[in-house]
Amino acid sequence: MKRLKYAFGAILFLGVATFVSGQQGYLSVKVNKDTISSGEVVTVEFLLENLAGNFKAPDFRGFQVVSGPNTSSSFRMINGEVSQKKSYSYVLVPMGTGTKIIGSASVDNNGQVIDTDEIIIFVTDEYSDTQAPSKERTFIYDNGNGNINKSPSKKRPLKKI
């Protein structure tokens, strides 16, 4: 009887691990501003969804890292659907004005490398109320297995007991 319990547990674990590794994974990058004044900060967040690899941070040349890497992770299993997320965020202060570049980050996902593009941040001389509005930007990079759009979740039928 004990062997049956252990065998069932092992099969369940392998099934969940296979399900997670078979899901679509992607790496996304979000910056809170693309244009800042020389005294402001910019926040950059790298989100790994359903990727089990090692994250390699970008080169922040031209910026001083005030805070980071700040990490968070989550694992969800709802109605047999498994997902995991890992986030790395940085708070940066520009050193000087002009066009600054946040280098490329990468994730080695079981031998498959996913790279981000460089991100351009414009740093102006001084703060102005008439400054062009800054935009939040999000960039998404998939693992090459197809479309990154998530399918809509289906509602489970409720039964009265």
Confidence (pLDDT) at 32: 93
Confidence (pLDDT) at 155: 38
User: What is the CATH architecture of 25-142?
Assistant: Sandwich (2.60)
Angle formed at CA 34 by CA 101 and CA 37, multiple of 5 degrees? 90
Confidence (pLDDT) at 134: 60
**Average pLDDT, 10 consecutive residues per value, the chain (161 residues):** 50 45 78 90 94 91 93 92 93 94 91 90 76 64 53 39 47
* In the chain, where the domains are located: 25-142
CB contact set of 140 (below 8 Å; sequence gap of 6+): 26, 27, 28, 148
Confidence (pLDDT) at 23: 66
Confidence (pLDDT) at 111: 84
Residue at 141: amino acid letter: Y
Of 57, 113, 65, residue with least CA distance to 86:
57
Confidence (pLDDT) at 144: 62
pLDDT single digits (tens) 59-106: 999 999 999 899 999 999 999 888 999 999 999 999 999 999 999 999
The rounded Cα 59 to chain-centroid distance in angstroms is: 17
pTM, to two decimals = 0.69
Confidence (pLDDT) at 135: 65
CB contact set of 117 (below 8 Å; sequence gap of 6+): 104, 139
